[in-house]
Structure 1
Amino acid sequence: MTKRKVTEIVEELATPLVEGEGLELVDVEYKKEGANWFLRIFIDKPEGVDIDDCGRVSERVSDMLDEVDPIPTSYFLEVSSPGAERPLKKPADFERSIGKHVYITTYEPVNGQKSFEGLLEGYEGGALTVTVAVKEAKKTITLPAESIASARLAVVF
């Protein structure tokens, strides 16, 4: 089974459990590190998650995965917050992040570059509008959602 298929199955199975706890399923990651596989589930809520939220979700998801057994190999289950630089994947993620600082990479160069860091100004019609610093000036660019390889919030120091 492919990593993508595992994450899709787990996301489908875990979403109702996570939402039942009043939380949002932000992301699911299935990754091999060294000799071990890790299944990571990232959860959040507006006021942030705590260790109790992670523990409850971990217990519920673990029981469900033991019952359904969709993953053929052994793995470590980790449930945590997505952190300050949470990934942005769904339209709701982009809409909620308008006015925040973001870091975006694209599959192909746009205006000669593949990475953009700046203020997310808008999300409309499947396109992101981002204001980025170019040398000493600011420039607003529009990135179609299908061109985005990855997007996340970015912490500004």
Structure 2
Amino acid sequence: MMTDATPTTTDAFETLLTATETRVKHSQHAHWYATNVFDRLARWTTIANILGGALVSVLSTAIFAFEELLKAYNDSVVLLLFLAGAGVSIVSILQSVMRWSERSQSHFIAANAYSSLRRELEILRLNAVRDPAALQTVIQKLANISEVSPAVPQSLWQRAWRQG
């Protein structure tokens, strides 16, 4: 399918190819950054939940196991137990609502799709014969990927552009 964006001259082809390469590169980088950020958030909140859950378990057991030893500190231990439990609950709610692992996976899939497009563009660039139809196919794939890819936070887009 040929559109108005189909280049008719070598200069027009090169301009469109370069613009497409730039867009794909920045999109790929932005999705890799988002993958890393969301994966890191998922990992750290999971660690916080595990450690917080362990602390709650130890404190709640200590109240009964060492009742005589902790009698003088009972109020402090109960307060610490309450705070640790509240912290674990808040982090768990954040994990459930923000879905950092799922978001990381979505951006990972998008980054891989953009990587595949970059390879196709590299092949187009290396071909001695400029093929406008092949470039239009890549541009259509880019449009399709852009429609289904998750949104990247603005700060990560800016970082991708600076790296570009």
Bucket of the pairwise TM-score, normalised by the shorter protein: under 0.3
What is the TM-score of this pair, normalised by structure 2? 0.20
What is the TM-score of this pair, normalised by structure 1? 0.21
Q: Normalized per residue, which structure has more strand?
A: 1
Q: Which one has a bigger Cα radius of gyration?
A: 2
